[in-house]
Structure 1
Amino acid sequence: MEEYAMTAVERAAAEQVFGERLALAERYVEHLATTGIERGLLGPREVPRLWSRHVLNCAVVTDLIDREATVADVGSGAGLPGLTFAIARPDVAVTLIEPLERRCIWLNEVIEDLELTNVRVLRGRSEQFFNEVDVDVVTARAVSALNKLANLTIPLLQGRGELLALKGRSAAEEIEKARKVLKKLGAKETEVLTAGADVLEEPTTVVRIAVGQA
């Protein structure tokens, strides 16, 4: 039995989150547990908790995303959360923004193997794409504190849309520290949400920041 195999609880959650695309999610996890570890995208200690801590933790956030939305994932790394969005929601168009070449190569290999047609990879820092990318939703996980992250993500919305930042217990504190920056960037509404409470033992904490009229 592979070290990254799902528990019964994880399988029940994965079936609900990914539905008929669960096999794709399983192949993605296999990539994470093999070449993802070998190439340093994740640490080996993460293998036993790939489903609960990483893939499911990210994928449940798609409940907060409208149908046929366009999404940019900043600092995508191993595709968390962006690739989980693309797998769980074929109606959503996802752009993965990642500065490191070796990570981009790996992401493109996974996308090709899974035959995903709703996702692309842009190599570079998010600031390089402020005039090129225009999306409904921008997301990030484990990139930086919100007061810095806002400057790296919100400009990709071109004045309207929302940032969904996957955060931990310090979410409310980060929002307070980022108030001035968020106001300057046009934030109209800021709230802390949870995603996946119906399927996960530990729901995902998400900071949602609405910009413009969205």
Structure 2
Amino acid sequence: MIEVEPVAAAKLFGDRIELARQYTADLAEHGEILGLIGPQELARLWSRHVVNCGLLAPLIRRGGTVADVGSGAGLPGLVLALAVPETSFTLIEPMERRVAWLSEESERLGLENVTVLRARAEETGIAVDQVTARAVSALRTLVPNCRGLLSVGGEMLFLKGASVEDEIAAARKQLLKAGLRDPEVLVLGEEIGAEPTRVFRATVV
């Protein structure tokens, strides 16, 4: 049974809450069948996935360009695209089945600020202002793979788990090589009563 919508959702999505509800309902209906989410995820679909990803929205540059790497079910790419309509999102996903879902769902939601690319991050040849990712790989792999998407001043925003500090320590060589200085870990969500979410943020200098 799908999780009851938490109070934090309306605070987070504001006048875009109906789109968030539609996306969540669509994911609940099709996600397990398409292999996008596991069978246990319906009970925490809002809090662990939709709200968790939506917490990144205030960090997205309005009017800018964002590449979401390994978009999968659209977490966080589709969630952010519906929350920040003035920003252009490119959803990068190598698996054909997931690419089809992303394309169909963005059309269902009427998201004109979304482009879907079937590719890996290092193959796209595009340049954007920010790169997002969630549950893709450890930083020592993710940072080099995403670096080519950014110029100086570009920003990486990666949703991470409780071991993010260990990942940063293990990826120190890759962070330096990528031109990333003073990476930080932000903890988001507590201010609106949501489950705390950790975000790795670093800028190319």
**Range of TM-score over shorter length:** over 0.9
- Check if 1:178 corresponds to 2:171: yes
Look up the match of 1:148: 141
- Check if 1:47 corresponds to 2:45: no
**Amino acid paired to 2:15:** E
Look up the match of 1:38: 33
Range with greater deviation from structure 2 (150-159 or 100-109)? 150-159
Look up the match of 2:186: 193
Quick one: distance in 2 between partners of 1:4 and 1:89?
25
- Kept in 1, the 8 Å contact 2:8–2:194? The answer is no
Deviation, 1:69, is 2.1
Quick one: distance in 2 between partners of 1:107 and 1:135?
19
Larger fraction in helix: 1
SS in 2 for 1:175: helix
5+ residue gaps, structure 1, are none
- Kept in 2, the 8 Å contact 1:86–1:92? The answer is yes
- Kept in 1, the 8 Å contact 2:51–2:194? The answer is no
**Amino acid paired to 2:162:** R
Q: TM-score, structure 1 length as denominator?
A: 0.92
Range with greater deviation from structure 2 (170-179 or 65-74)? 65-74
Look up the match of 1:122: 117
- Kept in 2, the 8 Å contact 1:189–1:211? The answer is no
SS in 2 for 1:210: strand
- Check if 1:83 corresponds to 2:72: no
- Kept in 2, the 8 Å contact 1:70–1:137? The answer is yes
- Number of residue pairs aligned between Structure 1 and Structure 2: 205
Quick one: distance in 2 between partners of 1:183 and 1:154?
11
SS in 1 for 2:67: strand
Closer, same or farther: CA 6–23 of 1 in aligned 2, 3 Å: same
5+ residue gaps, structure 2, are none
Quick one: distance in 2 between partners of 1:149 and 1:5?
31
Deviation, 1:5, is 4.5
C-alpha offsets along residues 135-192 of structure 1, whole Å, 9 cap, x if unaligned? 1110110001100110111220133311011001111111011111111111123011
Identity of aligned residues (%): 51
Q: TM-score, structure 2 length as denominator?
A: 0.96
Quick one: distance in 2 between partners of 1:200 and 1:42?
24
User: 1:65 pairs with 60, 75, 85, which one?
Assistant: 60
Runs of 4+ in 1 over 3 A off after TM superposition: none
Quick one: distance in 2 between partners of 1:99 and 1:162?
22
Quick one: distance in 1 between partners of 2:56 and 2:193?
12
**Amino acid paired to 2:102:** L
Quick one: distance in 2 between partners of 1:5 and 1:179?
39
Look up the match of 1:28: 23
Look up the match of 1:6: 4
